Amino acid sequence: MGLTIGDLGKATSTKVETIRYYERIGLLPKPVRTAGNYRAYSEADLDRLSFIRRARDLGFPLEQVRELLSLSDDKSQPCAAVDRITSAHLRDIDRKIGDLLALRSELSRMLTTCRQGTIADCRIIETLGPALP
């Protein structure tokens, strides 16, 4: 009866150490222990961990996962808070995508100017180096 920490790990593709870490930071409740001091988990724990993992896979940082969890614990609350968190996360991702695209074009511009000579006249190193006087 009860799932071991290894069972939970397998079921959610989560490393055992990560589960203990989630417990330590209070994302997962401390489970009951068996006579031999093993953690014994319930289906509810499995659901909660699955929730965490799905949110993490979607890139939510742990603090936002924490908020989403506490929202999902209170079903009568309005949905607006969830919407707010998700929108904020989306804006964050959009900003990151923008940054990366800018980087990407800069790097690929640098690459096209690299003429396979020596470092002495490498345009990439030149770009990184000090401004010419």
Collapsed DSSP state (helix, strand, coil) of residue 76: coil
Pick what 74 binds: its own copies, DNA, none; C-beta below 5 to 8 Å, kind-dependent: its own copies
Spatial distance between the Cα atoms of 22 and 39, rounded to a whole number of angstroms: 13
Asked if 22 and 49 touch (Cβ cutoff 8 Å), the reply is yes
Separation CA 108–CA 6 (nearest Å): 45
Nearer to its own copies, 32 or 97 (CB): 97
Residues that bind its own copies (CB under 8 A): 46-47, 50-51, 54-55, 58-59, 68, 71-72, 74-80, 82-83, 86-87, 89-90, 93-94, 96-97, 100-101, 103-104, 106-108, 110-111, 114-122, 124-125, 127-130
